[in-house]
Structure 1
Amino acid sequence: MPVRTGHATGISRENAEPRMRDRKGRRGAVPRTSPPGRARRRTKASALLRESTSRRMVAALASASAFGIVFTTAPTASAVVGGAPVADGERPFVVQIQEQGDDGKWSHYCGAALIDSRVVATAAHCSRFIQQGKVKARLVIGRADSTTSGGTVVTSDHFSVYSHPDFSTLTNTDLGLLILDSPVDQPSAALPPLRTALQPGRPLRLDGWGRTDLNDEKKPSRLQEATLPVNAFDTEGGTWDKEFICAGTADKYAAPGDSGGPLFDPNPSENAAKAAKAAKAVVYGLVTGSTNTCTGLFTNLADPAIWKPFREPLASHGLSHVIPSEPPAQPPTPPKQPGTAHHALAEASG
């Protein structure tokens, strides 16, 4: 059965155009599938642009579409470099989106996060291919080892797909929501209050499946997790949206194709836990790509603007509560009271 797509105002049904475009109508691309500095391009005369395309190269080539350069490939298997295996049941909110091949077998497609019992968040550049019918997908929730039969499986005829209508590789818009017909019996993660600022150096976790070494094509079946520090983000003169999150080190990072995977805090602060109404993991971002100066670029889920086109679709499903709340208002600072010395001086002068 074909996957259902969103029809609510602000989220358009995908047409037959296979290429992703940014808000200026230029052709976009999926995040890179090669190490930084190794992206290449080929013209239409020689071959289609290979999947190994960095986000920085995407920015440089966006205006070259008139010369026949096209971006049509979907994300490939994910990886977390520098991570360690995750135990069964440890991260039940981390979702694996699987795609079915021509041989009928299922394999890893993208990462995602369960942010409500009926809502899965992933990258828009993942969800759009599902909307277009180019990928037959299913959701595997609460299963750390992809070779086992545990967890919950949701097939495409039991969820609807919504993608950010203004998705661009250069802006903080790489978000897609998969809304389930029925709640799943798996613990979900929380989202941070809107406008939450992450300070450089703060450690967060990244989870994903796939290659753990760029030089080895073998992919582990078990979910991997790495601890990444938040880094100051260089927008390169305004090329990139300042709302992005940058995280990772030279030996721990989101590897090629680790799209849609969650960047989260498993032990949130008291304020974050209070906002989530439970002491659960808080997902701050989703893997979107990289730049010349940022090893790991993440969609920022605390950005108020990214949720605007999803308000009506979520409301139509009775899920308005999924959108993060504004941070709690701080109590006003009480006015300073006059000191006793001032009063004494006034009395003496009277």
Structure 2
Amino acid sequence: MLQTFILLLLQTAYVFGCGTPTVKPDTNRIVNGVDARPHSWPWQISLQVKHGSRYHHTCGGTLIGPRWVLTAGHCIWPGDVYRVVLGEHDMSQQEGTEQIRDILRIIVHPKWDIDHVANGNDLALLKLDKSPIMNDSVGVACLPEAAEILTHGTPCYISGWGNLYTHGPMPDKLQQALLPVVEHSVCSRSDWWGINVKSTMICAGGDIVAGCNGDSGGPLNCLGQDGRWYVQGVTSFVSSRVCNEVKKPTVFTRTSAFIDCILKNYENVMIYYIQIN
């Protein structure tokens, strides 16, 4: 039954237009992190936490269905109040493309343990109170096939509003950076991440470019052979010393390892896709 749901979801998501931004990402000149082309990653969201009477950016996330956001388990703390901002680019100003949604339900992976990050399962699903309006600034990313493994060196892109460098400032504008995939056999070497990286994770980068605080929960965007962008990873952790430590690539929860888990929690995403098509 679940495999049928997976097949239907993939088929209907294709019709819906996942992973096909109206504004094409600029992937030609990426050496280090740079400002992203506005709204070229329309599934990127800002997860914001309420402090006092105001909300502040705390993590990234990915819109994977009309009412569902994928983010990291470590971004969620019991008792905190969150909201999701879609269609965001420059946080220093109102651009008119922003859509704000409250969160109706939070599902953190049952095996996520904040005290044992290296055990994996750093994943959470957020159900929005209502669907955003899909347009040039807001869209959904594609989900990869279950168990898909990317080859070493596959060019992928991290996006987010995280610190520009260790203890550095947070940017106003959405950033992106090229992070080539580091295969598990390399990333798990003793002089890399060793036993801290599991097969349910995906490593990318490992040189002078990395994710940093505030990028957590955001997507690892990888272009598929069909020309669509897939969220192959959810930003999980970097070195505790500095964000861009050599041989310590950014580690992501590998989305393809959790497809069954994701679909079990939101079969109505598939139902929604069918209803609108």
TM superposition score normalised by structure 2 = 0.73
Measured against aligned partners, the alpha-carbon deviations of 1:179-199 in whole angstroms (never above 9, x if no partner) come to 123221221110111111111
* Residues 1:256 and 2:213 are matched in the alignment: yes
1:117 deviation in Å?
1.2
2:92 maps to which residue?
A: 147
1:85 maps to which residue?
A: 35
Segments of 5+ residues of structure 2 without an aligned counterpart are 1-30, 240-244, 273-277
1:200 deviation in Å?
0.9
CA RMSD of aligned residues (A): 2.3
Q: Distance in 2 between matches of 1:223 and 1:205?
A: 12
1:137 deviation in Å?
1.1
Aligned partner of residue 319 in structure 1, secondary structure: helix
Equivalenced residues, count: 221
1:240 deviation in Å?
3.3
Contact 1:91 1:142 in 2 (8 A): no
1:18 maps to which residue?
A: none
Segments of 5+ residues of structure 1 without an aligned counterpart are 1-80, 271-278, 323-350
Contact 2:158 2:176 in 1 (8 A): yes
Aligned partner of residue 58 in structure 2, secondary structure: strand
Contact 1:91 1:144 in 2 (8 A): no
Partner residue of 1:244 out of 201, 219, 237: 201
CA 1:320–1:174: 2 relative to 1, 3 Å: farther
- The amino acid across from 2:230 in the alignment is V
Partner residue of 1:198 out of 145, 150, 154: 150
Partner residue of 1:183 out of 131, 146, 160: 131
Partner residue of 1:290 out of 234, 238, 242: 238
Q: Distance in 2 between matches of 1:136 and 1:179?
A: 14
* Residues 1:299 and 2:244 are matched in the alignment: no
* Residues 1:125 and 2:74 are matched in the alignment: yes
CA 1:137–1:295: 2 relative to 1, 3 Å: same
Q: Distance in 2 between matches of 1:290 and 1:87?
A: 25
Q: Distance in 2 between matches of 1:240 and 1:86?
A: 29
Contact 2:161 2:174 in 1 (8 A): yes
1:94 deviation in Å?
0.3
Measured against aligned partners, the alpha-carbon deviations of 1:241-298 in whole angstroms (never above 9, x if no partner) come to 1221110132111123421011012x4212xxxxxxxx54211001100358432100
1:172 deviation in Å?
3.4
- The amino acid across from 1:207 in the alignment is S
Partner residue of 1:210 out of 135, 149, 162: 162
Partner residue of 1:268 out of 211, 224, 229: 224
Partner residue of 2:44 out of 87, 94, 101: 94
Q: Distance in 2 between matches of 1:254 and 1:301?
A: 17
- The amino acid across from 1:143 in the alignment is E
Following superposition, which runs of at least 4 residues in structure 1 exceed 6 angstroms of deviation? none
1:167 deviation in Å?
1.0
Identity rate, percent: 27
Aligned partner of residue 199 in structure 1, secondary structure: coil
Contact 2:142 2:229 in 1 (8 A): yes
CA 1:199–1:321: 2 relative to 1, 3 Å: farther
Q: Distance in 1 between matches of 2:131 and 2:55?
A: 23
Contact 1:192 1:302 in 2 (8 A): yes
Bigger shift: 183-192 or 234-243? 234-243
1:220 maps to which residue?
A: 171
CA 1:163–1:253: 2 relative to 1, 3 Å: same
Partner residue of 1:231 out of 177, 182, 199: 182
1:99 deviation in Å?
1.4
Aligned partner of residue 236 in structure 2, secondary structure: strand
- The amino acid across from 1:182 in the alignment is K
Aligned partner of residue 302 in structure 1, secondary structure: helix
TM superposition score normalised by structure 1 = 0.58
Contact 1:264 1:285 in 2 (8 A): yes
Q: Which has the higher strand share?
A: 2
